[in-house]
Amino acid sequence: MEFKRRIIEMAKFVLPVYNVWDGRAFLLAVGDFKSGDFNVMTIGWGSMGRMWSKPYVAVVIRPTRYTYGFMEKYDNFTVSLLPDSFKDILTYCGTYSGRDVDKIKETGLTPIKSNKVSSPGFDEAELIIECKKIYFDDYKPSNFLKASIHSKYPLKDYHRLYYGEIIEVNGIKAYIGK
Ligand SMILES: Cc1cc2nc3c(=O)[nH]c(=O)nc-3n(C[C@H](O)[C@H](O)[C@H](O)COP(=O)(O)O)c2cc1C
């Protein structure tokens, strides 16, 4: 597979949305690359689509995550897809907290400057989506319509939902449609 990222216009961007969240997970990065004030974590729940005539990525972050403070502080974030061979690194970034470890040092990942936002992408990524926050909300347990959803929150740390408008997509050829 050719490994060279290039800017992909939204109209040509293709992604198997459900499978990508379920089978692979994204690496979320939020903060300021330049000053080094950023954090990364693995995310497996979220969505993508079109809202208010804008393409968006929606991510959900529990307030217990170190990342949450960064999501509140900064107006942007990125989500990146790493090649399949990075599964262990995704597990690491989804198990350890930036409060306790330096995930970049421990994983050897290479953060890189984004084109349009302060949060970094990753040189190893085959897809990087740069987003600017446009909406947030908190999941309300009183609105859960399926009883089993409550079991996802033993600590009652209900996710905060953030919509990020997609500002730029950089990806390898596999994400370009006809
Ligand atoms: C595959 C996978 C998917 C995950 N998805 C989410 C998610 O969507 N939202 C969330 O709040 N935590 C999610 N987590 C858990 C966080 O990634 C994990 O708690 C991480 O250590 C938080 O790091 P931080 O404390 O540095 O923010 C996921 C973990 C894994 C392994």
For residue range 71-105, what is the model confidence (pLDDT) as tens digits?
Answer: 999 999 999 999 999 999 999 999 999 999 999 99
Q: Is residue 175 part of a domain?
A: no
Does residue 42 have its Cβ closer than 6 Å to ligand 1? yes
Read off the tokens for 155. Answer: 């600590």
Domain of residue 127, CATH code: 2.30.110.10
**How high is the pLDDT of residue 131?**
98
Per the structure block, which two tokens stand in for 158?
A: 């209900």
Confirm or reject: Cβ of 69 under 6 Å from ligand 1. no
Q: Where are the alpha helices (DSSP H) in the chain?
A: 17-19, 66-73, 87-93, 103-107
Print the domain residue range for 157.
6-166
43 Cβ below 6 A of ligand 1: yes
pTM (2 d.p.): 0.97
Atom 18 of ligand 1: nearest residue by CA position: 94
Residue 110 CB–ligand 1 contact under 6 Å: no
CB 7 within 8 A of CB 168: yes
CA of 23 to the centre of ligand 1 (A): 15
Mean pLDDT per segment of 10 residues, for the chain of length 178 residues?
89 94 94 98 97 98 98 98 96 98 98 98 98 98 98 97 98 94
Instruction: Report how many domains make up the chain.
Output: 1
Residue 1 is predicted with a pLDDT of 58
Contact 120, 111 (CB under 8 A): yes
| 1 part of a folded domain | no
Atom of ligand 1 nearest to the CA of 94: 17
Instruction: Determine, yes or no, domain membership for 172.
Output: no
